[in-house]
């Protein structure tokens, strides 16, 4: 059984001019790959289309040591995101096609393996919280990134061991998110605040971390890398401050290249 199972989204991030490249990404995929790069056994559960992008996704996961044997192939397109790049280099998501990810549900056989993982991270998953509730009910350690789920019905946090969220560079919003997530039933709330760093609290213990300055190439997937770093440190028994610092360092490294993890041009 893997140390970690990630469930949910994969996509092809398509960068417009002047970059003109595409990379494999998605919250659940990026977290799985970064966990594997950190030396953890990671398995990914999700769906791809029966197309070149789907085959590319499987190949990239395998090349990075992620177990993708449970990936489902659906008779539709692999999910993709179109990213516009403005004159200042800022990225803007202009279109998302969820493709095979929309409506994905783990099978009974998948669920058996997911339940055996040391920790489960849920990315984008439009199941109305069904998997989260099942995992919590089974006593499985589970986290979810609520910032990637646009619809409120898919982002409940009650019973989550760790609820991840992003507040941009808004400290007041970050503090409010921490309070709200704990009030709504998360056992631990972790919020990133852009250039202001990150903070975490379980209602009794609190920690903060600053950012690590690096030459920024791309911030796409940096939040996912933060999650992977935090989870790997947490799994290793580190305290909250050390978990935030590890998340920060992995995230900073991701900002130095295109996409959520290094990929060949």
Q: Would you state the structure tokens that stand for residue 82, as one six-digit string?
A: 């179109």
CB 13 within 8 A of CB 259: yes
Number of C-beta neighbours around residue 46 at 10 A: 29
Q: How confident is the model at residue 115 (pLDDT cuts 50, 70, 90)?
A: very high
Give pLDDT tens digits for 187-209: 999 999 999 999 999 999 999 99
Least confident of 80-84, 112-116, 121-125, 154-158: 154-158
Give pLDDT tens digits for 121-149: 999 999 999 999 999 999 999 999 999 88
Higher pLDDT, 228 or 88: 228
CB 142 within 8 A of CB 120: yes
pTM check: above 0.75: yes
> What's residue 241's pLDDT?
97
Domain extent listing, the chain: 4-254
Q: Does residue 90 surpass a pLDDT of 90? A: no
Query: What angle is formed at CA 33 by the lines to CA 27 and CA 39, rounded to 5 degrees?
Result: 135
> What's residue 53's pLDDT?
98
Q: How confident is the model at residue 1 (pLDDT cuts 50, 70, 90)?
A: confident
Give pLDDT tens digits for 51-72: 999 999 999 999 999 999 999 9
Q: Would you state the structure tokens that stand for residue 138, as one six-digit string?
A: 């089974």
> What's residue 154's pLDDT?
79
Q: Tell me what the pLDDT averaged over the chain comes to.
A: 95
CA-nearest of 6, 9, 49 to 31 is 6
Q: How confident is the model at residue 38 (pLDDT cuts 50, 70, 90)?
A: very high
> What's residue 155's pLDDT?
80
Give pLDDT tens digits for 160-188: 999 999 999 999 999 999 999 999 999 99
Residue 194 DSSP one-character state: G
Q: How confident is the model at residue 50 (pLDDT cuts 50, 70, 90)?
A: very high
Q: Which of the listed CATH numbers 1.10.150.120, 3.40.190.10, 1.10.510.10, 3.40.1190.20 matches domain 4-254?
A: 3.40.1190.20
């Amino acid at each position: 059984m893997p140390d970690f199972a990630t469930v949910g989204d994969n996509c092809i991030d398509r960068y417009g001019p002047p970059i003109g490249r595409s990379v494999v990404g998605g919250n659940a995929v990026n977290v799985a790959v970064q966990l594997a790069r950190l030396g953890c056994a990671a398995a990914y559960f999700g769906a791809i289309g029966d197309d070149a992008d789907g085959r590319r996704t499987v190949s990239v996961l395998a090349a990075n040591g992620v177990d993708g044997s449970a990936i489902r192939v659906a008779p539709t397109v692999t999910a993709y995101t179109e990213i516009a790049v403005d004159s200042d280099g800022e990225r803007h998501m202009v279109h998302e096609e969820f493709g095979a990810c929309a409506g994905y549900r783990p099978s009974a056989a998948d669920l058996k393996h997911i339940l055996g993982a040391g920790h489960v991270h849920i990315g984008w998953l439009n199941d109305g919280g069904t998997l989260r509730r099942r995992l919590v009910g089974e006593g499985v350690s589970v986290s979810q990134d609520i910032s990637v789920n646009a619809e409120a019905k898919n982002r409940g946090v009650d019973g989550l061991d760790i609820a991840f969220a992003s507040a941009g560079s808004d400290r007041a919003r970050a503090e409010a998110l921490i309070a709200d997530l704990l009030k709504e039933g998360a056992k631990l709330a972790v919020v990133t605040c852009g250039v202001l760093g990150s903070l975490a609290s379980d209602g009794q213990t609190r920690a903060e971390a600053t950012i690590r300055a690096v030459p920024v190439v791309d911030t796409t997937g940096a939040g996912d890398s933060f999650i992977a770093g935090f989870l790997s440190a947490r799994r290793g028994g580190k305290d909250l401050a050390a978990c935030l610092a590890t998340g920060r360092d992995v995230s900073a490294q991701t900002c130095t290249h295109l996409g959520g993890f290094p990929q060949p041009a």
